[in-house]
Amino acid sequence: MKIDTTRRGFFGAAAGFAGFAATVGRLSAEIDNEALGFKLGIATYSFRSFPRAEAIKMILDLQTPFVSVKEVHLPYKDSPEDLEKGRKEFEAAGIKIMSGGNISLSKNDDADIKKYFEYAKTCGMPMIVCAPTHENLKKLEAAVKEYNIKAAIHNHGPEDKHFPSPESVLEAVKGLDPRVGLCMDCGHSERAGSDPVKVVGLAGPRLLDMHIKDLRSLTDKGSQCDVGDGKIPIPALFKALHKHGYKGCVNLEYEINAKAPMPGMQRSFSYMRGVMAGIKA
């Protein structure tokens, strides 16, 4: 039997669950962001068209305190004093910086890599989401050990000549420090022919972070849509995360409607919280 994982299909099936008569609005308000162990968060790249102060307001409106901060909101070029000031603006709003990135690490150069770890340290980031090369992985590992900051390698789909799929990351980090792992981008993973649900079990503790999005076509990057309106099997993915004890973030990376992202992001969070409620019931 084919299971409909779209928004309409999921909520239609969930209507039969005990206690699932609540409206989507109530679910959004009542479901804890950590109800299944993992954390619903936001990649602030979603707010790339807005300055930091406005991005913070929108994060608060979405009712999750966990963020992965993109450089546009804590610029690399800023002085350590300005970066610390920016970090404190997030913290004063009750927002927790869980990671930063994606950071491109294209140079096989210790000093260049350490520059970004110094940046992460100043910004209070316990982890960087990054795009290294195969050639500089050992230098990346050395920086992870020196700074005690995790490095989650982000897969970028078939266009990525280094790490297109989650499996390519997992193969490359075998034997490296356990703080070097994977940030699985679910959309790019599907386009690379991977099954994100299976990857959760395959990765185990190497899964350090995750970017969530949805696609109407699993092969078309341009088909991104609100989470729940596409074909990525979100309920099965969340069940796998819960089953395997994932404690990290599932960060919504909303790459469409850059000038007006909030309606779609709100719908996406309502759907994800509804999925969590159905699993927890």
3-class SS letters over the chain = CCCCCCHHHHHHHHCCCCCCCCCHHHHHHHCCCCCCCCEEEEEHHHHCCCCHHHHHHHHHHCCCCEEEECCCCCCCCCCHHHHHHHHHHHHHCCCEEEEEEEEECCCCCHHHHHHHHHHHHHHCCCEEEEECCCCCHHHHHHHHHHHCCEEEEECCCCCCCCCCCHHHHHHHCCCCCCCEEEEEEHHHHHHCCCCHHHHHHHHHHHEEEEEECEECCCCCHHHEECCCCCCCCHHHHHHHHHHCCCCCEEEECCCCCCCCCHHHHHHHHHHHHHHHHHHHC
> What is the pLDDT, as a whole number, of residue 7?
57
> What is the pLDDT, as a whole number, of residue 2?
41
Cβ–Cβ < 8 Å for 187, 196: no
> What is the pLDDT, as a whole number, of residue 24?
40
Q: pLDDT tens, position by position, for the chain (281 residues)?
A: 344 555 545 454 443 333 333 334 444 445 688 989 999 999 999 999 999 999 999 999 999 999 999 999 999 999 999 999 999 999 999 999 999 999 999 999 999 999 999 999 999 999 999 999 999 999 999 999 999 999 999 999 999 999 999 999 999 999 999 999 999 999 999 999 999 999 999 999 999 999 999 999 999 999 999 999 999 999 999 999 999 999 999 999 999 999 999 999 999 999 999 999 999 86
> What is the pLDDT, as a whole number, of residue 33?
86
> What is the pLDDT, as a whole number, of residue 244?
97
pTM attached to this predicted model: 0.90
> What is the pLDDT, as a whole number, of residue 189?
97
Where residue 49 falls (left for φ over 0; alpha for ψ -120 to 50; beta otherwise) is: alpha
Cα distance from N-terminal residue to C-terminal residue, the chain: 23
Instruction: Give the angle subtended at the CA of 252 by the CAs of 3 and 197, to the nearest 5°.
Output: 40
Cβ–Cβ < 8 Å for 128, 116: yes
Distance CA 59, CA 45 (A): 12
Total residue count of the chain as it appears in this document: 281
> What is the pLDDT, as a whole number, of residue 32?
80
Structural domains of the chain ordered from first start = 33-280 (3.20.20.150)
CB neighbours of 132 closer than 8 A, spacing ≥ 6? 105, 106, 140, 151, 153, 162
Distance CA 100, CA 151 (A): 10
> For residue 268, which phi and psi values (nearest 5 degrees)?
-65, -45
